[in-house]
Amino acid sequence: MSRLTPSEIEPKWQAAWAEAGVFTATRDGNRPKYYVLEMFPYPSGRIHMGHVRNYTMGDVIARYKIGTGHNVLHPMGWDAFGMPAENAAMAIGGHPKTWTYDNIATMREQMKPLGLSIDWSREFATCDPEYYGQQQSIFLDFMEKGLVYRKDAMVNWDPVDMTVLANEQVIDGRGWRSDAPVERRKLTQWFFKISDFAEDLLEALDGLDRWPEKVRTMQANWIGRSRGLQIAFELATPFEGVERIEVYTTRPDTLMGAGFVAIAPDHPLAEALEAGNPEIAAFCADCRRMGVSETDAEKAEKTGIDTGLRVKHPVRPECGLPVWIANFIIMDHGTGAIFGCPAHDQRDLDFSRKYGLPVVNAFTTLNDAAPVADKALVPIKTEKVRWIDHFAGLDVATGEEAIEATIAFAEKRGWGRRKTQLRLRDWGLSRQRYWGCPIPVVHCDICGIVPEKRENLPVRLPDDVSFGRPGNPLDRHPTWRDTPCPSCGKPARRETDTMDTFVDSSWYFVRFTAPRAKTPTRDEDARYWMNVDQYIGGIEHAILHLLYSRFFARAMRMCGHLPASATEPFDALFTQGMVTHEIYATRDGKGRRIYHLPSDVRRDEARARLKATGEPVEVIASAKMSKSKKNVVDPEDIIAAYGADTARWFVLSDSPPERDVEWTAAGVDAAFKHLNRVWRLAAAAKAADDAEGPDDAMLRRSMHKTIRGVTVDIEAFAFNAAVAKLYAFTNTVAKADAGTGAKREALRIMAQLMAPMTPHLSEEIWHILGGEGLIARAAWPVADPQMLVEDRVTMPIQINGKRKTEISVPRDMAREDVEKLALASDVVVKALAGGRPRKLIVVPGRIVNVVT
């Protein structure tokens, strides 16, 4: 009997698919389209198991949808701009472009053996000038529509590397590479007006009912719309022309408990006060020093300083509230000023106790609150409260009513107005880096900022740059930087900032619909293929990438690049879990861990030892595969040893796709053994022979149940459950005393049901069992509803809800007959002891419950 040899059959079928063009997508009005997409990879160098899991899931969906008659688009590309390429260029020399394209070539060659149903004819990298040139043209369109602007913004500046650092590159206030103290610098930068769309981006989340709740919540929190009241607190005596302080609150109902007003150290009023008061100046300077590092700010104690100014309480003007400058007030939030309500806010209470400020109850709850000690009384939103001073015509209200009543009252009296506040800030897209999409504008001393002419796009990155010196190479590249003004023709300078790489990934999915078009999109293709029906990727992109893509869809629609029908980029989103693996470590002389590759460790029974020396190895709990922990399993090695089908089958088995799956050698062996077992069963059923067997009917019923079960599971992304049903069906086929005809039929169906997961093995089985054409193109089997119902059913009999026995009855037996049979069974007779049941529940075909 021949053995399963993946190294032979896998390339064979991959070639067959390529030759038949099975996965090449073209528009076809006769079939429903289905666009399935996995988040495209960054070409870091090699693919890892996370990629394998991600793309396998997408592939299952894609192949299943082909089977169900859909015209499937399943493309792949490369998110190819970004810092690692520049870092590599600095560390090992060479050019980011070479490094990137080499990595792409390597990873493409690693991906192809996985047998993914990808339309490779649509492949592109975001660093291709053909792609980023179109992106530049979109940028100019956004400019024309007023969706782009420039403003000053703070950046982390590394004075040694002469570069801007992302927040995650700042470690303990120092640059991650240079270790130099990071400075805060003001730079004029480019921004996208994402805030223009904030309301729509928030409200449309409700319609994304096929997105995980978690992601929708995270986006909603990120946009952070709050409704509240902006109050003008009048200064008792104006200070240098300032007459009032604007304060924003989401809890206007607590206004009567206001004990103080506090402003941020960066507040204009604070800055004005600094000039005449050295103590205040010292305090503010102190706060700013803390402000550099956010982790410091978190730990810092709440401190403040009295300005000596007083404001009037809008409802009780006779009350003067002190104005403080406090370190925990942030200029970016609201108006940069708050009123403190110590009785009902813990932070304000702590502050008030520290500085001896008054604590005033705003309201008591209906059951009369205890006096405030060290714990603020925070009424629940739905709780009825009674104002101590009922100024709004209401004296008892729930939190929401109280808030509304206060806002209405404030607007009527004119000291406040309703305000909706957003947390979402505009998207700063400037990056002072080389390896990104150049921003296509020119700075002219005469004309100002001038967009590059369309016919000059793409503004290509120059190749002749060096990374030996710190700073942005574009800045010191005179022939590239110096360019005539597109408007007046006089000498001018190119913008040397490039775009955030999130821009590249905000519209790539649209570009896949017409990757070679001379315009960013082509209407008939975008109209046909958009939206992406199913998007699959990691939860780490829950906020930025997905939010930016949603913004781009709207902005591109505004510019005519997307049809009105393309409402959202991704109709359905699935976030898959990671592939984890144990970590192996030994200790060095100082007790520090030294990590070891799984391939260097031998595990037998309970112990693990180094293969080379036999030294015992500490096994640390499973974690995300990472180079530094050396717990990476290389997909290439697994494919070489077991084949792609085994790797695919394994990553789909056992764990639900949204959870992490632990990579284990035993699990991979089990997957491989199972595929071999299916292969042997198929080989045994190969001989044509029409003999029937006693289990033929049972096998067919089981087959139809499996068809239905696997179909439902794939639709529901329950791949682990689908795999389990296929295991169970394999057991049934193996044990059935059935004729070869029935077994052949069963195995052909099994091959089809497995094809989305193990496409090569399935083709091979399909082929030897006489299937027509390629299984990749075969119509997905449909379960016969009549075969799903058994003639006889086993009904458990419960006494008082506890299962005691069972009866086997014809499926459609009349209720009365079931009752009689149940009552006649030994245990029931015994339990009733001659009496009658108090109640008798019969759920036909399901269960009998006798209540005594």
Within 680-719, the residues that bind RNA by CB under 7 A are: 718
| Rounded Cα gap, residues 730 and 473, in angstroms | 61
Cβ distance to RNA smaller for residue 42 or 642: 642
Q: How far is the CB of 150 from RNA (least distance, A)?
A: 24
CA 95 from centroid of its chain's CA atoms: 32
Work out whether 338 is an interface residue with RNA (CB under 7 A). yes
| Closest to 433 in 3D by CA, of 172, 81, 839, 741 | 81
Site for RNA in 598-627 (CB under 7 A): 605
Cβ distance to RNA smaller for residue 123 or 246: 246
User: In this structure, are residues 138 and 507 in contact, taking their beta carbons and an 8 Å threshold?
Assistant: yes
* DSSP helix/strand/coil, 761: helix
Of 60-68, 146-154, 220-228, 521-529, the window that binds RNA (rule: CB under 7 A) is: 220-228
Q: Which residues contact 830 (CB under 8 A, 6 or more apart)?
A: none
Which of 281, 315, 724, 832 is the binder for RNA (CB under 7 A)?
A: 724
Site for RNA in 537-556 (CB under 7 A): 539, 542-543
Cβ distance to RNA smaller for residue 321 or 338: 338
Q: Which residues contact 311 (CB under 8 A, 6 or more apart)?
A: 233, 234, 235, 236, 244, 245, 261, 320, 321, 323
Cβ distance to RNA smaller for residue 604 or 690: 604
Q: How far is the CB of 94 from RNA (least distance, A)?
A: 33
| Rounded Cα gap, residues 769 and 794, in angstroms | 35
User: In this structure, are residues 516 and 159 in contact, taking their beta carbons and an 8 Å threshold?
Assistant: no
Cβ distance to RNA smaller for residue 9 or 337: 337
Write each residue from 489 to 528 as x if it is in contact with RNA (CB under 7 A), else as -, in one continuous string.
Answer: ----------------------------------------
Cβ distance to RNA smaller for residue 452 or 713: 713
Angle in degrees, CA 239, 245, 247, rounded to 5: 165
Q: How far is the CB of 416 from RNA (least distance, A)?
A: 12
Cβ distance to RNA smaller for residue 221 or 626: 221
Cβ distance to RNA smaller for residue 264 or 536: 264
In which residue are the tokens 């289990």 written? 695
Site for RNA in 725-744 (CB under 7 A): 727-728, 731, 734-735
The sign one gets for the Cα dihedral 109, 638, 731, 683 is: positive
In which residue are the tokens 């015994």 written? 830
User: In this structure, are residues 679 and 765 in contact, taking their beta carbons and an 8 Å threshold?
Assistant: yes
* DSSP helix/strand/coil, 273: helix
Q: How far is the CB of 220 from RNA (least distance, A)?
A: 8
Site for RNA in 284-323 (CB under 7 A): 294, 297-298, 300-302
Site for RNA in 416-445 (CB under 7 A): 423
Neighbours of 452 (CB within 10 A): 22
Beta bridge partners of 850: 799, 840
Cβ distance to RNA smaller for residue 123 or 266: 266
| Rounded Cα gap, residues 14 and 463, in angstroms | 37
Q: What is the DSSP letter of 36?
A: E
Q: How far is the CB of 102 from RNA (least distance, A)?
A: 32
Site for RNA in 628-667 (CB under 7 A): 653-656, 659-662, 664-667
| Rounded Cα gap, residues 784 and 73, in angstroms | 29
Q: How far is the CB of 603 from RNA (least distance, A)?
A: 9
Residue 331, both tokens: 């200029």
Work out whether 329 is an interface residue with RNA (CB under 7 A). yes
In which residue are the tokens 């020396």 written? 613
Q: How far is the CB of 700 from RNA (least distance, A)?
A: 19
Of 31-39, 91-99, 314-322, 536-544, the window that binds RNA (rule: CB under 7 A) is: 536-544
Which of 490, 673, 811, 815 is the binder for RNA (CB under 7 A)?
A: 673
Q: How far is the CB of 275 from RNA (least distance, A)?
A: 23
SS (H, E, C) 711-747: HHHHHCCCHHHHHHHHHHHHHHHHHCCCCHHHHHHHH
Write each residue from 111 to 140 as x if it is in contact with RNA (CB under 7 A), else as -, in one continuous string.
Answer: ------------------------------
Total number of residues that touch RNA (CB under 7 A): 81
Which of 41, 334, 342, 781 is the binder for RNA (CB under 7 A)?
A: 334
Residue 658, both tokens: 């949204």
Task: Please report how the helices 544-558 and 213-223 are oriented relative to each other, as an axis angle in degrees rounded to 10.
Answer: 70
Cβ distance to RNA smaller for residue 90 or 721: 721
Q: How far is the CB of 341 from RNA (least distance, A)?
A: 9
Q: How far is the CB of 822 from RNA (least distance, A)?
A: 12
Cβ distance to RNA smaller for residue 100 or 655: 655
Q: How far is the CB of 250 from RNA (least distance, A)?
A: 4
| Rounded Cα gap, residues 635 and 641, in angstroms | 10
Q: How far is the CB of 719 from RNA (least distance, A)?
A: 10
Which of 9, 60, 66, 247 is the binder for RNA (CB under 7 A)?
A: 247
Which of 248, 363, 434, 663 is the binder for RNA (CB under 7 A)?
A: 248
Of 245-253, 463-471, 628-636, 816-824, the window that binds RNA (rule: CB under 7 A) is: 245-253
User: In this structure, are residues 170 and 490 in contact, taking their beta carbons and an 8 Å threshold?
Assistant: no
DSSP 140-154: HHHHHTT-EEEEEEE
Of 308-316, 327-335, 383-391, 611-619, the window that binds RNA (rule: CB under 7 A) is: 327-335
Cβ distance to RNA smaller for residue 254 or 506: 254
| Rounded Cα gap, residues 599 and 602, in angstroms | 8
* DSSP helix/strand/coil, 199: helix
Site for RNA in 346-405 (CB under 7 A): 347
- Residues 91-129 as b/e (b if ≥16 CB within 10 A, e otherwise) read eeeebbbebbbebbeebbebbebbbbbbbeebbbbbbbe
| Rounded Cα gap, residues 753 and 300, in angstroms | 59
Q: How far is the CB of 59 from RNA (least distance, A)?
A: 20
Angle in degrees, CA 121, 127, 130, rounded to 5: 60
User: In this structure, are residues 510 and 570 in contact, taking their beta carbons and an 8 Å threshold?
Assistant: no
Which of 184, 186, 214, 611 is the binder for RNA (CB under 7 A)?
A: 214
| Rounded Cα gap, residues 170 and 801, in angstroms | 62
User: In this structure, are residues 449 and 441 in contact, taking their beta carbons and an 8 Å threshold?
Assistant: yes
Cβ distance to RNA smaller for residue 136 or 254: 254
User: In this structure, are residues 101 and 65 in contact, taking their beta carbons and an 8 Å threshold?
Assistant: no
Site for RNA in 768-827 (CB under 7 A): 794, 796, 798, 800-803, 806
